[in-house]
Amino acid sequence: MAAKEPTKAQPMDLGQPYDAVSRTFHWLVVALVLVQITIALILPSILPKSAEDSIAVWHLANGSTILLTMLLRFAWRLVHPMPPAPTDLPTGLRILARATHWAFYLVLILLPLMGWLAANAYGSTPRLLGLIPLPKLLNPDQAAGETIGGIHKVFAMLLFALIAVHVSGALYHALIKRDGVIRRMLPGRA
Ligand code: HEM
Ligand code: HEM
């Protein structure tokens, strides 16, 4: 007998939601990234020049926290696979969604690492959570700082592009397909 097609009244069974730890990591990283974008792009343009040093300290502290969280999240992901994608999703979109998810892991680890290297090259020591100094990976070198800082900014642009693709996908599922994919990532699921 042919498999029963999902209908609006009987949405497709998407199986288990993401586990609670994965959902907590997801929304924690969303919050930290939003704070980081505010610190990197919005605060410098609205606060006085005299606040520049403290903005930089916050950028390094929050960014290092993203690095630590992403490393823990990656380790968790390796032993807790993602739930399968909806079966009625065209192959191209399924590949795009999975590629975006894995690209987030890569970019959200490499981007802060580049920032750490750039900070060292500019002679600064980032502090994890604003408290614990991170080991020095590079000796001060202004030219190296500018090169690595440039790569860091390219990675930041890549992150913004991934966020645009990912949020468009989430809205497509929530508003057009209404297939329950969003619910798998929302807090409070059993
Ligand atoms: C998700 C994490 C991060 C994002 C989205 C991010 C984003 C950015 C952006 C957009 C800029 C350019 C700001 C501007 O020129 O107006 C920047 C600069 C910079 N960031 Fe980050 N950053 C992150 C993590 C980090 C970390 C972890 C560190 C260090 C531990 C760091 C250190 C730096 C430094 C030193 C610069 C100046 C680079 C230069 O001008 O050559 N960043 N970051
Ligand atoms: C900084 C912003 C974001 C990042 C870095 C991010 C990252 C990720 C990653 C890596 C995954 C794969 C699951 C995992 O391995 O943990 C994922 C899944 C998911 N995200 Fe996001 N996300 C962001 C923003 C959002 C927003 C704003 C929404 C909702 C509007 C959202 C909704 C979802 C949903 C529903 C899934 C599950 C998709 C599925 O079941 O196939 N995300 N996200």
Residue 128: CATH number of its domain: 1.20.950
Ligand nearest to the CA of 111: 1
Residue 50 falls inside a structural domain: yes
Q: Is ligand 1 within 6 A of the CB of residue 115?
A: yes
Q: Is ligand 1 within 6 A of the CB of residue 86?
A: no
At residue 179, the pLDDT reads: 85
Question: Considering only CA atoms, which residue is closest to atom 39 of ligand 2?
Answer: 181
Asked if 138 and 144 touch (Cβ cutoff 8 Å), the reply is yes
Residue 154 falls inside a structural domain: yes
Nearest to 37 by CA among 125, 131, 160: 160
Task: Specify the higher pLDDT residue, 119 or 3.
Answer: 119
- pLDDT confidence band for 189 (50 / 70 / 90): low
At residue 89, the pLDDT reads: 87
Residue 153 falls inside a structural domain: yes
| Mean pLDDT of all residues in 147-174 | 97
State the alpha helices, DSSP H only, in 80-90.
Answer: none
- pLDDT confidence band for 2 (50 / 70 / 90): very low
At residue 10, the pLDDT reads: 44
Question: Considering only CA atoms, which residue is closest to atom 39 of ligand 1?
Answer: 149
Residue 9 falls inside a structural domain: no
At residue 190, the pLDDT reads: 53
Q: Cα-flanking dihedrals φ and ψ of residue 51, to 5°?
A: -85, 0
3 has pLDDT over 80: no
Nearest to 76 by CA among 10, 143, 26, 1: 26
Q: Is ligand 1 within 6 A of the CB of residue 62?
A: no
Residue 142 falls inside a structural domain: yes
Residue ranges making up the domain that contains 69: 20-185
Residue 126 falls inside a structural domain: yes
At residue 8, the pLDDT reads: 45
Q: Is ligand 2 within 6 A of the CB of residue 35?
A: no
Residue 63 falls inside a structural domain: yes
CA of 186 to the centre of ligand 2 (A): 10
12 has pLDDT over 60: no
Domains in the chain, number: 1
Residue 1 falls inside a structural domain: no
